[in-house]
Structure 1
Amino acid sequence: MPRRLFLLSLCLAAAARVAAADLSATIAAVKPSVVGVGTFQRTRSPGTVFTGTGWVVGDGLSVITNAHVVPEKLDAEQKEALGVVVAGAGTAFSFRPATLAGLDREHDLAHLRLSGEPLPALRLGDSDTLREGRDLAFTGFPLGMVLGLHHVTHRAMLSAITPVIIPSYSARQLDARAVAQLQRAPFEILQLDGTAYPGNSGSPVYDPADGTVYGVINMVFVKGLKEAAISHPSGITYAIPARHVRALLQRASTQ
């Protein structure tokens, strides 16, 4: 091997090791800010039901998740409560009640508010600065509480920035929700090459180097719009850009 190529290969290997070390440190810093979202009912077995992933932002009492993760109705008679599930180790976790502070159904985002002691918060980045090819990562609970509430992290590259829905070749491929979204003017979403699962809905998509959040994983709402005409799921992962999270938080601050 020519000396120049040999030196280049050494540099690339060293860079890869540094990147891996950075991500390891970032994951450790991000995990305390990533929570489960669900409901608790004392008379139910199990008492806690997991519905998706959320993450802490702002003053440590705000949690962002997908709107479809938040139950539309709670069983008031049985005192069912909305809240977040703070992971411990394996099957150890605690439930903290929360209130719904804001809902953005168009972008499938929800803002929950906790009471009590704040949790570590993640920094919200400017998603408008993202470019295709950017390395990202996301952390959440792809299996929910089935095997214990374990944080799972995936690497992902930003494969494309695309409209949330594209006009179909046939009207038969459009459902009522897709038609409504077309009438509202489609917004752009982040298309990732990492593999996410339904429990990842609401997971933060962040910079592997410093944990800055640039998007929110969405595994149900967006797929129903983007892939409505596909008979078999593509396996592509989508995320809502962080600009819509910022707008949701700003609405709450002005109320």
Structure 2
Amino acid sequence: MTGACPGATAGDLPATIAVVKKSVVGIGTFQKTRSPAVRFSGTGFVTGDGLSVITNAHVLPATLDQQAMEALGVVVGQGSEFSFRRATIAAVDRQHDLALLRIEGAPLPALQLGDGAMAEGRELAFTGFPLGMVLGLHPVTHRALLSAITPIVMPSLHSGKLGAAAIAQLQRGRFPVYQLDATAYPGNSGSPVYDPHTGVVHGIINMVFVKGLKETAITAPSGITYAIPAVHARALLQEANK
């Protein structure tokens, strides 16, 4: 079950951003003996019961240094005032590059996931951490237009332009992704893409997985930003809660 986004119905982007920022978290690891102790890897957002966090699967570390007590978790707060909360991996959807984390402690404000009813030309916004923690934990918001709803990967006229990942995805099956006319950066991976009036999340920014599949046939990267439809995050959450 997805949680509501109380207060995000003002029809006013600044008011919506103020609400959404409370649910956006950094994804990373903590190791007391290193400097800095927290290592940032991407963005996530809280949904469901306030203890569930959605992010990209590729954002998660492949391994943790158990001997050095490295821990996976989320970074909560802003600027230099932040805290680290441990998390466990509840579920992973490799096909859609999504992951569900469960965090410790008290519930955080949760964002509602959309039902998948989207149309090209719709105005959206996304909030995340494009610079990570380099200049402190400061959430950044971008306006975006849903420019196109396109397949994640298309067959190429020349097999030489198809990479191994694209071939594997074609074998697994295609699904639609959202193409946005806004610029996102690697730290934005996992950021919620939401309605600027209600705060309802309709997509999850993906800066590695989708771009690697969509742009394999392009010599120079286009700089287009892509997002995974939120219906896949909803399905992952529902599956984990069975």
Alignment match, 2:90: 101
Alignment match, 1:42: 32
**Aligned-pair distance for 1:246?**
0.8
Alignment match, 1:16: none
Alignment match, 2:4: none
Gaps of 5+ in 2: 1-9
Secondary structure (helix, strand or coil) at the match of 1:101 reads strand
Question: Are positions 1:201 and 2:204 aligned together?
Answer: no
* Correspondent of 1:188 among 176, 189, 196: 176
**Number of residues of Structure 1 aligned to a counterpart in Structure 2:** 233
Superposed CA deviations along residues 116-169 of structure 1, whole A, max 9, x for unmatched, are 100000011112x10000000000000001111101000000000000001112
Alignment match, 1:26: 16
CA distance in 2, matches of 1:161, 1:22: 26
Alignment match, 2:102: 113
Q: Give me the identity figure in percent.
A: 70
* Correspondent of 1:153 among 107, 119, 141: 141
TM-score (norm 1): 0.90
Contact 2:55–2:191, Cα closer than 8 Å, also in 1: yes
CA distance in 1, matches of 2:238, 2:62: 23
Question: Are positions 1:236 and 2:221 aligned together?
Answer: no
Question: Are positions 1:175 and 2:166 aligned together?
Answer: no
CA distance in 2, matches of 1:221, 1:47: 27
**Aligned-pair distance for 1:26?**
0.1
* Correspondent of 2:41 among 51, 55, 64: 51
Q: Which amino acid in 2 is paired with 1:75?
A: D
Secondary structure (helix, strand or coil) at the match of 2:187 reads helix
Contact 2:11–2:197, Cα closer than 8 Å, also in 1: no
CA distance in 2, matches of 1:48, 1:124: 29
Alpha-carbon RMSD across the aligned residues, in angstroms, is 1.1
- Compare CA radii of gyration and give the structure with the larger one: 1
Contact 2:11–2:196, Cα closer than 8 Å, also in 1: no
Aligned runs of 1:54-93 on 2, under 5 Å? 54-88=44-78, 90-93=79-82
CA distance in 2, matches of 1:230, 1:93: 40
Superposed CA deviations along residues 31-79 of structure 1, whole A, max 9, x for unmatched, are 0100000000011111100000000000000000000000111011111
**Aligned-pair distance for 1:21?**
7.1
Q: Which amino acid in 1 is paired with 2:96?
A: H
CA distance in 1, matches of 2:138, 2:131: 8
CA distance in 1, matches of 2:69, 2:158: 46
Superposed CA deviations along residues 211-245 of structure 1, whole A, max 9, x for unmatched, are 00000000000000000111211010000001100
- Segment of structure 1 superposing worse, 171-180 or 65-74: 171-180
Q: Which amino acid in 2 is paired with 1:226?
A: K
CA distance in 2, matches of 1:100, 1:21: 35
Secondary structure (helix, strand or coil) at the match of 1:145 reads coil
